[in-house]
Structure 1
Amino acid sequence: MAAPSAQRTAGRELALRPVLLIAGLTALLLVLLSHRYGPLSDELYFIAAGRHPDWGYMDQQPLVPLLAAAIDTAAPGSLFALRLPAALITATGILGTALVARELGGDRRAQVLAAAAWALSPWLLLSGHWFAAATLEPVQWLGVLGLVARWNRLRGEGVRRDRLLLLAGLVAAAGVQTKLQIGVLCAALLAGLLIAGPREVPRGPRQWAGLALPAMASIPAAGWQVAHGWPARDMAAVVGSETSRLLLLPGALLYAGPVGGLLCCFGLWCLLRDERLRPVRFLGWTAALVVLTYLITGGRPNYLAGLGGVLFAAGAVGLQHRRWNRAWVVWPACALSAVLPLVLLPIAPLPLVARHPQLASYSRLYETGWPELARTVADAYRAVPPPQRARTAIVAESYHLAAALDVLGPELGLPEVHSPDRGYWFFGAPPDDATGALYVGAAEPLRPHFASGRRVATVRTELDLVNLAQGVSVRRYETPRLPWSRLWPLLRTG
Structure 2
Amino acid sequence: MTIAPSDTSVQDEDDNGRPVGLPAFAARPIAIVAAVLAALLTALSGRYGFHRDELYFMVAGDRPDWGYVDQPPLTPLLARASTALFGDTPMGLRVVATLLGVLSVVVVALVARELGGGRRAQLIAACCAAGSGIFLGLAHMVATATFDMLVWLLISWLVLRLLRTGDGRWYLAIGAAIGVGMENKQLVALLVLALMFSLLVAGPRQVLRTWWLAAGAAVALALALPNLWWGAAHGWPQLTVAAGISDREGGENRLMFALLLIVQLSPLFVPIWVAGLVRLWRDPAIRWARSFAVSVPLLVVVVLVFGGKAYYVLPMLIVAMAAGAEPVARWAKAGRRGWILTSAIVVAALVNAVVALPVLPPKALTVVTALNAAPSEQLGWPGFVSSVAETWRRIPAEQRAGAVIFAQNYGEAGAIARYGPDHGLPPAYSGHMNYSAWGPPPDSANGPVVLVYARENRRLPRMFTDCRPGARIDNGYGVESELQQNVILLCSGASGPWSRLWPILRHY
One-letter amino acid of the counterpart of residue 203, structure 1: T
Work out which of the residue numbers 37, 44, 49 in structure 2 matches 1:33.
Answer: 44
Work out which of the residue numbers 282, 285, 289 in structure 2 matches 1:280.
Answer: 289
3-state secondary structure, aligned to 2:482? coil
Work out which of the residue numbers 441, 446, 464 in structure 2 matches 1:450.
Answer: 464
3-state secondary structure, aligned to 1:476? strand
One-letter amino acid of the counterpart of residue 92, structure 1: L
Give unpaired runs (5+ residues) of structure 1.
none
* Distance in 1 between residues matched to 2:340 and 2:267, nearest whole Å: 13
**Offset of 1:372 from its aligned partner?**
0.5
Is 2:384 aligned against 1:367? no
- Structure 2 partner of 1:477: 491
Number of residue pairs matched by the alignment: 486
Is 2:56 aligned against 1:45? yes
3-state secondary structure, aligned to 1:256? coil
**Offset of 1:10 from its aligned partner?**
5.4
- Structure 2 partner of 1:133: 144
**Offset of 1:388 from its aligned partner?**
1.4
- Structure 2 partner of 1:124: 135
* Distance in 2 between residues matched to 1:299 and 1:343, nearest whole Å: 26
Is 2:474 aligned against 1:460? yes
- Structure 1 partner of 2:260: 251
- Structure 2 partner of 1:209: 215
One-letter amino acid of the counterpart of residue 9, structure 2: A
- Alpha carbons of 1:99 and 1:346: their partners in 2 closer, same or farther (altered >3 Å)? closer
**Offset of 1:103 from its aligned partner?**
0.8
- Structure 2 partner of 1:270: 279
Give unpaired runs (5+ residues) of structure 2.
12-19
* Distance in 2 between residues matched to 1:330 and 1:364, nearest whole Å: 29
3-state secondary structure, aligned to 1:384? coil
One-letter amino acid of the counterpart of residue 278, structure 2: W
Q: Deviations over 1:355-393 (max 9, x none)?
A: 562246634421111000111112222321122111111
- Structure 1 partner of 2:80: 69
- Alpha carbons of 1:467 and 1:309: their partners in 2 closer, same or farther (altered >3 Å)? same
Whether the 8 Å CA contact 2:365–2:376 is kept in 1: the answer is no
Calculate the TM-score normalised by the size of structure 1.
Answer: 0.91
The 5 Å alignment of 1:10-29 reads 12-29=23-40
The 5 Å alignment of 1:68-217 reads 68-155=79-166, 160=167, 162-200=168-206, 201-204=208-211, 206-217=212-223
Whether the 8 Å CA contact 1:170–1:210 is kept in 2: the answer is yes
Whether the 8 Å CA contact 1:36–1:346 is kept in 2: the answer is no
Q: Deviations over 1:401-433 (max 9, x none)?
A: 111112221232221211122332222212111
**Offset of 1:93 from its aligned partner?**
1.2
* Distance in 1 between residues matched to 2:54 and 2:179, nearest whole Å: 23
Whether the 8 Å CA contact 1:458–1:471 is kept in 2: the answer is no
3-state secondary structure, aligned to 1:72? helix
Calculate the TM-score normalised by the size of structure 2.
Answer: 0.89
**Offset of 1:296 from its aligned partner?**
2.0
**Offset of 1:330 from its aligned partner?**
0.9
Whether the 8 Å CA contact 1:83–1:130 is kept in 2: the answer is yes
CA-based RMSD: 2.4
Q: Deviations over 1:78-119 (max 9, x none)?
A: 222211121122111111111111111111221111111101
Is 2:245 aligned against 1:234? no
Identity %: 33
Work out which of the residue numbers 248, 261, 277 in structure 1 matches 2:270.
Answer: 261
- Alpha carbons of 1:29 and 1:3: their partners in 2 closer, same or farther (altered >3 Å)? closer
**Offset of 1:227 from its aligned partner?**
3.5
3-state secondary structure, aligned to 2:404? strand
* Distance in 1 between residues matched to 2:293 and 2:338, nearest whole Å: 26
3-state secondary structure, aligned to 2:323? helix
**Offset of 1:246 from its aligned partner?**
3.8
3-state secondary structure, aligned to 2:470? strand
- Alpha carbons of 1:309 and 1:450: their partners in 2 closer, same or farther (altered >3 Å)? closer
Q: Deviations over 1:134-166 (max 9, x none)?
A: 1111111111110121122223xxxx3x44321
Work out which of the residue numbers 480, 488, 491 in structure 1 matches 2:502.
Answer: 488
**Offset of 1:207 from its aligned partner?**
4.0
Which is worse superposed, 226-235 or 326-335? 226-235
- Alpha carbons of 1:287 and 1:381: their partners in 2 closer, same or farther (altered >3 Å)? same
3-state secondary structure, aligned to 2:449? strand
Whether the 8 Å CA contact 1:460–1:471 is kept in 2: the answer is no
Which is worse superposed, 112-121 or 417-426? 417-426
